[in-house]
Amino acid sequence: MSSKKWLIMLPLCALAALLLVGAFNVAVDPFGVFGDRIFNWYGYNETNNPRVAKLEWLEKNGDNYDSYVIGSSSAASYNTEELNEYFDASFYNLFVYGCDTGDYRDFAKYLIENHTVKNLVLNLGVNETNTYDAEDDPLKGSMHAKADGKSLPLFYLKYAFLSTRQSLDKLSSKMKDTDLPQRFDVFEPLSGCYDKRVRDVEKIGDAEAYQSEHESDFNYAAPAEQMPYIDKCVSVVSDIKKMCEQNGINLTVICSPVYIGQWRTCDESKMREYKTKLAGVCDYWDFSLTPISYDSRYFYDSTHFRNDVGSMVLARIFENENISCPDRFGRLVTEKDCKSYLDSLYRDPPQPELSDYTTDLPVLLYHHISDETGNDAVISAASFERQMRCLFENGYTAVTISDIEGFVLHGGALPEKPVLITFDDGYLSNYESAFPILQKYGLSGTIFAIGSSVGHTEYKDTDIGIIPHFDYEQAREMEKSGVIEIQSHTYDMHQNADYEKGDTVRINAAPLLDESEKDYAKAFRADAEKYNAEAQRELGHSFSALSFPGGSYTEQTQVEAKKAGFTVTFSIETDRRNTLVRGLKQSLYALCRYNMTNDVSNDRLLEILQNQPT
């Protein structure tokens, strides 16, 4: 081909290449700007740019919602299901990461102009006064042109002709995607919230352990300039308030919980200025500095409070007595009482005592009771009785699952020296020996029975003899006495590999090797549903506690257990204290237990009861 012809071909090829790039990007649509028809993966798109992808989600699904949360990532922890109940509405959490109040106004305006809006919840943290109209990453931080009024064609061109690397990243992420959240997929598209399933089941232990595990998350670096955008922020709130008034929308403004590390970097006069000016514009619920601010366990990191705290905030606003909130936890601030409120906050900060809201809980673990001692899972009746007497004589009170649930979830009290006595597997010996001994000393216990072996003396579906297990009648008798509570050790996820005929053997409730997250979730759910139905039938209640067979579990096991309705779970780890923290559901997860044998002397038992990690 002659060079001249080639020269004519050059711009045509360039055009073709551009179109190719554009077509690829539009098809893969890593920002969800073009409807994401192939993948429909808004969890990913929103992680890339929540401002753009969430708005596109609403363009498609806006009819399903009539109320919205607006704010930065500190607004992520308001659960939309709870909001729906409290407000009798359908909420979408339109929070975005990278705080910028200018965006809040744009969003409010966009929502009012394009969707039905009954309620708006506007959440304000401290950072709202630190940034305004910040230099945005043009792809990941920019606002949707439909909301900020910039040129729509240019907006679409930008996302059509972005680097193919963005699209390739989406493809490769798709291959790595799993059910649980990953770095590239942190949103729940339906609610708009973060998918915090994993962080909401992590162990939190005692305050020190948590702090040291998350040290870098809590090193809050204050911005160089203190709260320079107070006026901007307040004027945005004022604008949004006006818009709401004009359109008959119910506006709730919340100043969200602030971690003490961040609070202490804020200058008092600036903070007073902010709160006072805000009160001049509208009444607001202030949760900034409350007793929970002082404990990092209530936070994911120094600028994000936990989902459980979000529930507490809403419970406080809507006076839901069923959820535990500390005293001095949030109040409605008006222009009139703002000054006196701030005076009291600074004069007498609401710093709590640890004992006000936490307690240590030792948990003892027994299995079979028999004089034929064989292994660590067997204890003689005499030793058992000696240990129970020791508890009794030293003033320990045995508590039940509902006692500890009550303490953490509903603000109930626990006795001064609580202990939880548990039995795994559901042996007949528990009924014959342990039950009367507990009764004798006025103690109580929880038995985690394996569903498939209740009432069995032979391994299920075989004639292989096993240690006899009590039946439902005996179970009912024990429960009726108020001494024993029956809970779950799974229906059939504690199999014996030697006796099973099939290919898949579940010796415990952790995922099998190479099992997909989806398959595992299905298997776990099926087991829990089956057992709960049986318990409902036989015992008249379903289960709220689960002891992991063999103590084995993974992050996903706990996630699934939570989903299946288990509020308390037990491991057999002994490496940390069980510390129950009011309001934090996860302080009831994977509780440590000490395995009790004949060898445990009274002195050792008392040591264990001090709840020292070994």
Partner 1 sequence: MSINSAAFLLFLTVSVIVYYAVPKKARWLILLAASAFFYLSYSPRAALCLLFTAASVYLGALAQGALRKRERERSETPADKKRWQRRRRALLLLVLLLNFSMLAVFKYLSGWIARISEPLLPRPLILLMPLGISFYIFQALGYLIDCYRGRVAPERNFFKFLLFVSYFPQLVQGPINRFEKLHGQLIQGNDFNADNIRNGVWLMLWGMLKKILIADTLVTPVTDVFDNFNECGGAVILLAVVMYCIQLYCDFSGGVDLVRGASGLFGVEMEVNFCRPYFARSIDEFWRRWHMSLGEWMKNYLFYPLALSKPLNRVAKRLRRGGGRSGRLFVPCVSTFIVFVVIGIWQGPGLANIAYGLWNGALMSGAMIMEPAFAKFREKIGRADGSFAMRVFRTLRTFMLVVIGRYFSRASSLSQSFGMMRRTLFSFTAGAHPFVLGAGSWAVVAVSAGVLFTVSLMQERGVKMRERISRAHPAFQALLLILAMALVFGYFTAGFSTAAYVYENI
Residue number with CB closer to partner 1 (14 or 505)? 14
Nearer to partner 1, 165 or 537 (CB): 165
Q: Nearer Cβ to partner 1, position 1 or 513?
A: 1
Distance from the Cα of residue 407 to its chain's centroid: 18
Dihedral class, residue 442 (left if φ above 0, else alpha if ψ from -120 to 50, else beta): left
Distance CA 50, CA 32 (A): 10
Total number of residues shown for the chain: 614
**Residue 377 to residue 521: CA distance in whole angstroms:** 29
Q: Residue 546: which residues within 8 A CB-CB, separation 6 or more?
A: 448, 487, 488, 489, 490, 509, 528, 561, 566, 568, 569, 570
Contact status, residue 105 vs residue 336, Cβ threshold 8 Å: no
Residue 8 C-beta: closest distance to partner 1, Å: 10
CB of 115 to partner 1, least distance (A): 29
Alpha-carbon distance 73 to 193, whole Å?
A: 9
Nearer to partner 1 by C-beta: 162 or 333?
162
Sign of the dihedral through C-alpha 89, 299, 582, 544: positive
Specify the residue, 13 or 526, whose C-beta has the smaller distance to partner 1: 13
| Pairing label, strands 284-286, 250-255 | parallel
> Which residue in 70, 507, 425 sits closest to 254, CA to CA?
70
Nearest to 384 by CA among 367, 362, 369: 369
Question: What is the secondary structure of 578-613 as a DSSP string?
Answer: -EEETT-GGGGSSB--EEP-TT--HHHHHHHHTT--
- Side-chain half-sphere of 201: how many Cα atoms within 13 Å? 23
Q: Of 587, 87, 559, which Cα lies nearest the Cα of 324?
A: 587
- Closest residue by Cα to residue 592 from 581, 603, 577, 608: 577
Q: Is 393 exposed, middle or buried (0-12, 13-18, 19+ CB in 10 A)?
A: exposed
Q: In the bound complex, what is the minimum distance in angstroms from residue 168's beta carbon to partner 1? A: 6
Residue 144 beta carbon to partner 1: minimum distance, rounded to whole angstroms: 15
Nearer to partner 1, 170 or 316 (CB): 170
Alpha-carbon torsion, ordered 123, 126, 128, 129, to 10 deg = 140
Cβ distance to partner 1 smaller for residue 182 or 370: 182
Binding footprint of partner 1 on the chain (CB under 8 A): 1-7, 9-10, 12-14, 16-18, 20-21, 24, 138-140, 158, 161-166, 168, 171-172
Q: Which residues pair with 185 in a beta bridge?
A: 182
CB of residue 270 to partner 1, shortest distance in Å: 24
Q: Which is nearer to partner 1, 161 or 472 (CB)?
A: 161
Encoded tokens for 342: 């701030």
| Separation between Cα atoms, residue 243 and residue 237, nearest integer Å | 10
Nearer to partner 1, 224 or 413 (CB): 224
For partner 1, give the closer residue by CB, 140 or 460.
140
Nearer to partner 1, 175 or 413 (CB): 175
Q: Which residue's CB is nearer to partner 1, number 135 or number 603?
A: 135
> Dihedral (C-alpha) 461, 464, 465, 466: value to the nearest 10 degrees?
-70
Strand segments, DSSP code E, in 245-308 are 250-255, 284-286, 299-301, 304-305
Euclidean distance between CA atoms 224 and 227, whole angstroms: 9
